Amino acid sequence: MSVPARDAASTALMARANQIARDAIIVDGHIDVPYRLKNNYVDVGAATDGGDFDYPRALQGGLDAPFMSIYIPASYQESGGAAALADSLIDMVEGIVEQHPDKFALASGVADVRANHAAGLISLPLGMENGAPVEGDLANLAHFHARGIRYITLTHSRDNEISDSSYDETGTHGGLSDFGRDVVREMNRLGIMVDISHVSDNAFDDVMEVTSAPVIASHSSARRFTPGFERNLDDGRIERLAENGGVIMINYGSSFLLKRYQDDRDAARARILEEAERRGWEPGSDDFNAYSDQYFRDNVPYADLQDVVDHIDHVVGLVGIDHVGIGSDYDGVGDSLPTGLKDVASYPNLIAALLQKGYSETDIRKLLGENALRVWAEVERIAARS
């Protein structure tokens, strides 16, 4: 029996996508494995029942350098202990590598990523999400650089001593604080990439005035598709990021991809709270959670793979292929991931969609990892001459 031409073409397309995934270096700017494992440790060197990342799925997807997010909740800015938590999460990542030296390796620079790729190992570079562990002392930047941190997201959900947050309407500093400007300069000197995901628009503008090195948005998308959502970058700031030589790494979370999803989500939350009040359910109770989960499944459809491609197309149309990458936020956005991109096994699905759109293999390799590695290498070069 002959294979229908359409099926044969789809099979050939996926075969090519899988081959590119195996051959190219795939860098994902943000994966929240450490915090996922903080209170519920499982061995990600083997297949896991939950989460979006483990070794078998990463191998299937061709993933080479997932930045492990050393995530520090904003609450630690008030309670203290941010630096200690960061050190403990770094210890965890080092432990994963020690437990599985045949699968994972640390990576403190671009050369390590390339060497690990050649050796068939998945690199686990480190990025710190929230600058709170700096704890007001520039010397802590050197400490965390020595521990392998290679980017720092300056703030998270609330303003901190470094920067205002896109999620916080307080506007504590009107952008970066004076200390935050010193932090950016010291990160440039040490060779730590400045990550402007989560910062306010004013803080982004201040970073652009201060930095001597290109910066990254490790897990942000295009505000064109989510009007009013400051967490994503507007077109003017994407253009400014490109002028700086930086890269925006597209976040897969449905709320980052679609205004429709944000609206549906907000309406669902209000409806669920109304029903809980009517039935006398406490938020967080089994009945509340069961109803909430089912209501979201029935009424809040996720984004899909094409929505991610739309964001990529938009950035490429604005500033070219050299300034876009992947920052999935796997293990960080819950079950809001788009259909077709539900875990780290799915990078070939994105590659196939890009091939269908007419992207060349050279351009796809840039997007998958070479753009991020170029920025990282330039940050290293600038630090070396400091």
Token pair, residue 163, equals 């920067």
Question: Nearest-5° angle of CA 90, CA 153, CA 103?
Answer: 40
How sure is the predictor about 290, in pLDDT bands with cuts at 50, 70 and 90? very high
The amino acid occupying position 377 is A
Segment 259-278, tens digit of pLDDT: 999 999 999 999 999 999 99
Asked if 310 contacts 258 with a C-beta cutoff of 8 angstroms, the reply is: no
Q: How many residues does the structure list for the chain?
A: 386
Task: Please report, for the chain, the start and end positions of each structural domain, with discontinuous segments joined by +.
Answer: 5-258+303-384
Residue bearing tokens 């938009």 = 314
Residue bearing tokens 């390590």 = 112
CA distance 126 to 123: 10
Count CA within 13 A, CB hemisphere, residue 50: 10
Segment 200-251, tens digit of pLDDT: 999 999 999 999 999 999 999 999 999 999 999 999 999 999 999 999 999 9
Cα Rg for the chain, rounded, in angstroms? 21
Asked if 271 contacts 348 with a C-beta cutoff of 8 angstroms, the reply is: no
CA distance 334 to 293: 12
The answer, yes or no, to whether residue 2 has pLDDT greater than 80, is no
More confident of the two residues 101 and 5: 101
- CATH code that applies to domain 5-258+303-384: 3.20.20.140
Question: Strands (DSSP E) along 212-315, which ranges?
Answer: 216-217, 247-250
Closest by Cα among 213, 288, 223, 279 to 250: 223
**In the predicted model, what is the mean pLDDT of residues 189-207?**
98
